[in-house]
Amino acid sequence: MKVLYPFLAVIAFILIALVGVRIPGGQNLLGIVLPYLAILAFTGGFVLKVLGWARSPVPFRIPTTCGQAVSLPWIKQNKLDCPSTFWGVTGRMLLEVLLFRSLFRNTKASIHKGPQLAYGSSKWLWLVGLTFHYSFLVIVIRHMRLFTNPMPAFLHALEFGDGILQVGAPQIYITDLLLVGALLFLFARRLVLSEVRIISLANDYFPLFLILGIGITGILMRYFIRVDVVSIKQLAVGLVTFSPVIVGDIGPLFFVHLFLVCLLLIYFPFSKLMHLGGVFLSPTRNLANNSRMKRHINPWNDPNIKPHSYAAYEDEFREFMVEAGIPVEKELAQPVAEEAAAPAAEVAPAEG
Amino acid sequence: MAVPKADKLGVSVTREPSLMTGAVPSKDWMDTPVEFKPGNFCYPAKKSMVEYHKFPNPRDWDPMADDWKLPPNWKEIILQGIKDRLDKFRSFKIFMDCCVRCGACADKCHFFLGTGDPKNMPVLRAELLRSVYRNDFTTAGKILGRLAGGREMTFAVLKEWFMYFYQCTECRRCSVFCPYGIDTAEITMMGRELLHLVGVGTNWILEPAANSNRTGNHMGLQPHTIKENIGYLCDDIEEITGVKITPTFNRKGAEVLFITPSADVFAEPGIYTAMGYLLLFEHIGLDYTWSTYSSEGGNFGLFTNNEMMKKLNAKMYAEAKRLGVKWILGGECGHMWRVLHQYMDTMNGPADFLQVPKSPITGTVFENAASTKMVHISEFTADLVKHNKLKLDPARNNHRVLTFHDSCNPARAMGMLDEPREVIKAVANNFFEMPANTIREQTFCCGSGTGLNTDEIMELRMRAGLPRANAVQYVHDKHAVNTLSCVCAIDRATLLSLVNYWVPGVEVCGVSELVGNALVMEGEKERETGLRFEPLAGEGE
Amino acid sequence: MKFADFLVEKESAILEAWVDQVLGQYPAASVPFFKGGKDRFANPLGHTLRHGLADLFTAVHAGGDNQAMTVALERILLLRAVENLAPSQAVAFVFGLKQAVRSQLKGLAVEDLAEAWTGFEQHVESLALLAFDLYMACRERLHKTRINELKSGRYILSDGAVCPSALMRKEQETVTDLQTTSNSCSQEAR
């Protein structure tokens, strides 16, 4: 169910798009209205979500220290895994966001021999995760060619680099292959590794299928079922200049592709995909470990919470203290008066 | 005749749902109920304890019963509690939203490694709460319910929470490996706070907290008893070293206030660590005082809720102010140092009545404690060692082949990794590290932290401690290690039980005990035994 | 083929079957992890069981050396003794060896099977008895650990309802009592 429903959902969405292009006005709806809505939902949702997070304060400074802290001058601090300054934190965050530092940590080999199945799989997760994210990024950037006229030079360079493996037409982009491969790996991993299977939810499979759908339709368009790129570019440029028009016969596959992309954009802010934003705000990573050096303020700190007071403590134990020669603030009262003055202090049920 | 399977041979052929915690794996985890059995839960808090703390719903109740005597509107209380906490803790909100269930944390938890119970994978532990969050606080969950991983808050869910939020020691090991830094300790803390809202808590936590509030320490030691006990320790020191030490208590005008977990002045083997402190301070002539009012370093409020943590912790600054000391020195303790390092200044600061800690012996200014004004004994000692201010005879620890256990909190919430090692290397000759993936920031918990160090769950503790014990076993076999040193009071108690069971022949000691053993005191007699009256290498036998 | 040769030849298959049986009792979702993770420190439970059983098997077909069997068995039983199993369940895995061997015997012609099987069975039976002893020893050790914890004063945490100093006095009295009793006992024994 967890796997099947999301799969069927994606298939259903594809069918909807295929039917949609054929009904009158459908192309305008899918090609013009929906993209605007999706962009709106994505940016709006994203911003709202991040603002929602930001609305909650960070009451305590709780970095996870993953190395030696700043300490005595001759003890070498691990400035990236246990940063105490702004720049240290920046470095840590960069490593985390750009290189998935924590996932990589998995692979830190043990000094023990032993074949490394458990470690192996973790290393793969890091590698494939990184591959997936970077391929996705490159592909997104590559798509900028559709929106720009003329294309900036760096896009040419990127495309050249991405297609370097093969000469000929059409060029095969490495990232296309990597993206699909990585998605299949991540999917297979969820099915095969029992401990990952048990934790996986429908919300984990759905984005996998959705992105896979986007990738496959994209690849189909590029290499197998040709679509009218000129019209697409015209539409894309039109979209960004707020004068969109659909001319010519673009081909239904493009609309399926676009529809799935729009769905992804709309789905994004409501899903776990928001880890894109969350990783920057995670208090165990983005705070400096300097809580003994600099006071961190908790906005809802309650000044009315007071300790059981020393006075009440001394009142309860004064006699013992005096007897044991421990200094007291108030000397013992006269034995008679003492009974009367017995404190109304809190007395724990645990009687001494 | 059919041949019976081997695992059916036992009398209890009815296969237990799982070996320990009742999870039947064949079904989806959400449909797997927990089953409370003797030995898999901590005793619930006594009614009187809940009343003492003025917590809601004091009553006598039994986790094994079908009726936990919850308040009629308990669900609303919990949901409101979640909402309040989402508004107060960004960590909670983000950790609820961000998990992608990649599984990197799954095999990092000592409870999972020792029990094999899938719900002890950090990700599932968090999902116990996250499923309710999704159902009631997210758009997708409200519409799609279970399909979006949502789950209604039911009694069965509450039972799961009580089971698994008390099978987490908030050690933060999973957080080291999580790509988003999701910290199960935060989630467990929230879970426990929520449970307290409806009167579900354990006695082993609330009672020490009550003691700590009233008498100043978990043990419930009264002022004269503290002085008396430390007096006994001084008698022993005199017998062993010939040096007479007379520490002071609640003395105004001392330069330094010293606070350590009360277990150090009362329970074995912590008392030997306390003897180490006493010898060290005497050796360097430190102007310090003990306090009977603030006589507990540990803080079981950390395992309860943040209000309690603040209340108990506030005594330290209050006492420092009353006594007019310049700064505070803290003893060896794990969770105590999490509170001191990450929470104290925020909760109860600013400590503007104190001065930036400066070692009166070496003149070193502890800039890393400039605001909180509290220094760890290992930092303090490492500084003395570096400046050669201690007269040491490391050979006195030759009867010990040592390894060092990084306690979770100093390692992963403070980053104190090298200081204790510097001290150990200065005071002892035989030191071997455990394997790399079991120490420093990857250290394994003793399995009994966060108020789980109670004997009714001894079996569970042994299983949770297996990853740690296994690494000790390794160095025991390979290097004949016979002493596991650490800087944590809970460790000193629980690791001892752990190695007694898994690796007999290994003892547990605090780092300061080793220091005390090695210190050459002025005017001392020739030492024949260590601080435990144990023969030294080359002596006796 | 001789039975002894068969054991050597099929060692890994037999072991695999045996390990499967024992690990099969853990929650299904965790089994592959316990089986897969070969690193001793990342997967202590799986490692202990796998290597314990392997050593045990070696010890059995090397002629059932008691010392070697004890060492291997103890590691496993330390685990079994804290897993809240019925005692019978905790030691039942020993008989699993018979089934594991039998499962590999199928369709093989072994010359001295009848005779050798009797000897093999005897080994397994003595192994079972040894396992029972060790299981009890482990439980005993666990309870001693518990008692030590109580005696060392840590129990004060569990029951702060009593004044600690009073408890200390009481404990000292008990210790004296015990000493007196044990003295008198030993005197009587003489």
3-state secondary structure chain C: CCHHHHHHHCHHHHHHHHHHHHHCCCCCCCHHHHHHCCCCCCCHHHHHHHHHHHHHHHHHHCCCCHHHHHHHHHHHHHHHCCCCCCHHHHHCHHHHHHHHHHHHHCCCCCCCHHHHHHHHHHHHHHHHHHHHHHHHHHHHHHHHHHHHHHHCCHHHHCCCCCCHHHHHHHHHHHHHHHHHHHHHHHHHHC
Contact status of A118 with chain C (Cβ, < 8 Å): yes
Nearest to A284 by CA among B428, B415, C56: B415
Domain ranges in chain C? 3-149, 158-189
Q: Is pLDDT above 90 for C180?
A: no
Between positions 104 and 163 of C, the ones with CB within 8 A of A are: 160-161, 163
Average the pLDDT over each of A230-239, B145-154, B494-503, C176-185 and give the range with the smallest value.
C176-185
Query: What does the alpha-carbon distance between residue A308 and residue A315 come to, in Å, rounded to a whole number?
Result: 12
Nearest to C120 by CA among C38, C11, C27, C7: C7
Helix (H) or strand (E) holding B144: helix B139-144
pLDDT given for residue A198 in this prediction: 87
CB pairs under 8 A between B and C: 191
Pick the residue from chain B with its C-alpha nearest to A310.
B293
Q: Phi and psi of B56, rounded to 5°?
A: -70, 155
CA B212 → CA A73, A163, A236, B295, B317, distances in Å? 36, 68, 68, 8, 15
Between positions 49 and 88 of C, the ones with CB within 8 A of A are: none
How far off is chain B from A85, nearest CA to CA, in Å? 12
pLDDT greater at residue C167 or residue A277: A277
CB-nearest partner of B207 from C95, C160, C165: C160
pLDDT given for residue A122 in this prediction: 67
Q: Is pLDDT above 70 for A135?
A: yes
CB-nearest partner of A194 from C32, C37, C38: C32
Q: Encode pLDDT of B2-59 as tens digits.
A: 444 544 444 333 333 344 444 434 568 888 889 998 888 999 999 999 999 999 999 9
B327-330/B256-259 β-pairing: parallel
Q: Encode pLDDT of B108-159 as tens digits.
A: 999 998 888 889 999 999 999 999 999 999 988 888 888 888 999 999 999 9
Percent of chain A with pLDDT over 70: 88
Structure tokens that stand for C97 in this block? 């060896």
Chain B residues with CB-CB distance to A71 below 8 A: 368, 379, 415-416, 418-419
How far off is chain C from B266, nearest CA to CA, in Å? 7
Q: Encode pLDDT of A231-273 as tens digits.
A: 888 899 899 889 888 887 888 899 999 999 999 999 999 999 9
Structure tokens that stand for B196 in this block? 């307290």
pLDDT given for residue B418 in this prediction: 95
Average the pLDDT over each of B28-42, B188-202, B425-439 and give the range with the smallest value.
B28-42
Percent of chain B with pLDDT over 90: 80
Which residues make beta-bridge pairs with B510?
B486
Which residues make beta-bridge pairs with C155?
none
Quote the CATH superfamily of domain A4-281: Transmembrane di-heme cytochromes, Chain C (1.20.950.20)
pLDDT given for residue A329 in this prediction: 92
Give the mean pLDDT of B74-89. Answer: 96
SS3 B258: strand
pLDDT, chain B, mean = 90
pLDDT given for residue A169 in this prediction: 63
pLDDT given for residue B6 in this prediction: 47
pTM: 0.87
CB-nearest partner of A195 from C29, C40, C163: C29
State the amino acid at position A335 in one-letter form.
Answer: P
CB-nearest partner of C165 from B228, B460, B500: B228
pLDDT given for residue C166 in this prediction: 41
Q: What is the ipTM of this complex?
A: 0.88
pLDDT given for residue A338 in this prediction: 46
Q: Is pLDDT above 60 for A342?
A: no
Q: Encode pLDDT of B272-324 as tens digits.
A: 999 999 999 999 999 999 999 999 999 999 999 999 999 999 999 999 999 99
Domain ranges in chain A? 4-281, 310-340
Using a 10 angstrom Cβ sphere, with 0-12 exposed, 13-18 middle and 19 or more buried, the burial of residue B277 is: buried
pLDDT given for residue A335 in this prediction: 57
Give the mean pLDDT of C13-29. Answer: 85
Contact status of A194 with chain C (Cβ, < 8 Å): yes
Give the mean pLDDT of B47-73. Answer: 93
Structure tokens that stand for B78 in this block? 């919990």
Contact status of B441 with chain A (Cβ, < 8 Å): yes
pLDDT given for residue A114 in this prediction: 35
Domain ranges in chain B? 18-201, 207-518
Query: What does the alpha-carbon distance between residue B458 and residue B180 come to, in Å, rounded to a whole number?
Result: 34
Q: Encode pLDDT of C89-127 as tens digits.
A: 889 899 998 888 888 888 777 777 888 888 888 888 888
pLDDT given for residue A24 in this prediction: 86
Contact status of B432 with chain A (Cβ, < 8 Å): no
Query: What does the alpha-carbon distance between residue B106 and residue B95 come to, in Å, rounded to a whole number?
Result: 16
Contacts of B159 (CB under 8 A, 6+ apart): B33, B34, B36, B63
Q: Is pLDDT above 50 for B183?
A: yes
Q: Is pLDDT above 50 for B246?
A: yes
pLDDT given for residue A213 in this prediction: 95
